[in-house]
Amino acid sequence: MSGARTSVRIRVPATSANLGPAFDCAGLALSCADDLDFTVTDGGLSVEMTGEGADELPTDESHLVVRAFRAACDELGWAPPGLRLATTNAIPQGRGMGSSAAAVVGGVFGAWALCPDVGAIDLGAVLRLADRFEGHADNVAACLHGGVTLVWAGDDGPVAERLDVDPRIQPLLLVPGSTLSTTAARGLLPELVPHGDASFNAGRSALLVAALTWDPGLLLPATEDRLHQRQRAAAMPDSLALVERLRAEGLAAVVSGAGPSVLVLTSRQPGDDLVDFSDGAEVRRVAGLVPTGWRLLPLSVDGTGARVLSGAQVTS
């Protein structure tokens, strides 16, 4: 280990997948992130956590970050003698904000950054490994690249394309006190969908790219969905009711990922502060509609994605 890096800090952002119509093929990186500190030790495993989920997540080899770290080490043919992991978690757990994708990306990044035989982190390789491990390439790609990402199945695994989000757009997250398992939410989806609904969502997904990248005025129609949100209403009736209420008010609201959080894509209006519009007109409208027991998180788009704060090299 002489000359090798023995500790590294990784930052991984929250994400919101689907964005309404783009089921399993689009994700947005958000300015809410977990910090993960990895240290190679002489032996054993130590896991320390603060913040979201600190009192609920395991502190042994079953911890998702540790499992992802080990899987990446196996992929790289490297076995560190011991590991200390310390996390500061800001991403709410089980709320449809990509906490598991962030954990997996963080673990894989940690292994790549510390492995003495790796010169730089290959984002394409990380995406493929994280997808095999986590199974949700839309969240993983957004967490890796930042901005809004489109993801599709290539011959060798998932491929992602990152796009810049129009700076007028601000995401708001409405987070309930309850959680929902992604597996449970997916279990409610039908195996077959009508051709008309598939065609509708394809058109709205294409429109979504325009709305997110250069014309926020299209956000309301561009976030319409027929494939997955209403089909999962039984698992999160309050979330779907809130989405409908917000949309009736002209706000581009969708279920965030598998839920139960709700994502609202607001945009700067005339008279809003040019730099910070966290108290803008649409934000105030949303704040007035937040149900009791829900948190309002005014966020911004994370344009960077996962990063090694102590400076390991990353390649695309």
Specify the CATH number for the domain of residue 193.
3.30.70.890
pLDDT at 316 over 80: no
Average pLDDT over residues 54-63: 95
Mean pLDDT of all residues belonging to the chain? 92
Q: Is residue 217 part of a domain?
A: yes
Q: Is residue 315 part of a domain?
A: no
Dig out the tokens for 100 from the structure: 């598991």
Residues 28 and 103 in one domain: yes
Residues 110 and 220 in one domain: no
Residue 222 near residue 233 (C-beta atoms within 8 A): no
Domain of residue 115 covers: 7-164+302-310
State which amino acid sits at residue 181: S
Residues 134 and 249 in one domain: no
pLDDT digits (tens, 9 = 90+) for 201-232: 999 999 999 999 999 999 999 999 999 999 99
Q: Is residue 204 part of a domain?
A: yes
pLDDT at 244 over 60: yes
At 298 the three-state DSSP class reads strand
Task: Provide the terminal-to-terminal Cα distance of the chain, rounded to the nearest Å.
Answer: 27
Q: Where are the alpha helices (DSSP H) in 155-229?
A: 182-186, 195-213, 219-222
**What are all long-range contacts of 306-309, with beta carbons under 8 Å and residues at least 24 apart?**
306/10, 306/11, 306/12, 306/13, 306/105, 306/106, 306/109, 306/143, 306/144, 307/10, 307/11, 308/8, 308/9, 308/10, 308/109, 308/113, 308/121, 309/8, 309/9, 309/10, 309/11, 309/35
pLDDT digits (tens, 9 = 90+) for 75-100: 999 999 999 999 999 999 999 999 99
Counting runs of H as helices and runs of E as strands, what totals does the chain give? 9, 13
Average pLDDT over residues 169-179: 94
The radius of gyration of the chain from alpha carbons, rounded to an integer in Å, stands at 19
Q: Which residues contact 266 (CB under 8 A, 6 or more apart)?
A: 169, 170, 171, 172, 251, 252, 280, 282, 283, 286
Tell me the CATH number at 160.
3.30.230.10
Average pLDDT over residues 14-29: 97
Residues 44 and 158 in one domain: yes
Residues 158 and 173 in one domain: no
Residues 97 and 66 in one domain: yes
Q: Is residue 184 part of a domain?
A: yes
Instruction: Look at the chain and report how many structural domains it folds into.
Output: 2
Within 10 angstroms of residue 152's Cβ, the number of other Cβ atoms is: 12
pLDDT at 297 over 70: yes
Q: Which residues contact 209 (CB under 8 A, 6 or more apart)?
A: 150, 163
Q: Is residue 316 part of a domain?
A: no
Query: What is the DSSP secondary structure assignment for residue 189, as one 8-state letter?
Result: S
Predicted confidence band of residue 283 (pLDDT cuts 50, 70, 90): confident
Question: What's phi and psi for 123, nearest 5 deg?
Answer: -65, -35
Q: Which residues contact 1 (CB under 8 A, 6 or more apart)?
A: 40, 116
Q: Is residue 150 part of a domain?
A: yes
Predicted confidence band of residue 286 (pLDDT cuts 50, 70, 90): very high
pLDDT digits (tens, 9 = 90+) for 31-58: 999 999 999 999 999 999 999 999 999 9
Q: Which residues contact 9 (CB under 8 A, 6 or more apart)?
A: 35, 36, 37, 38, 308, 309, 310
**Among 88-102, 118-132, 258-272, 292-306, where is mean pLDDT lowest?**
258-272
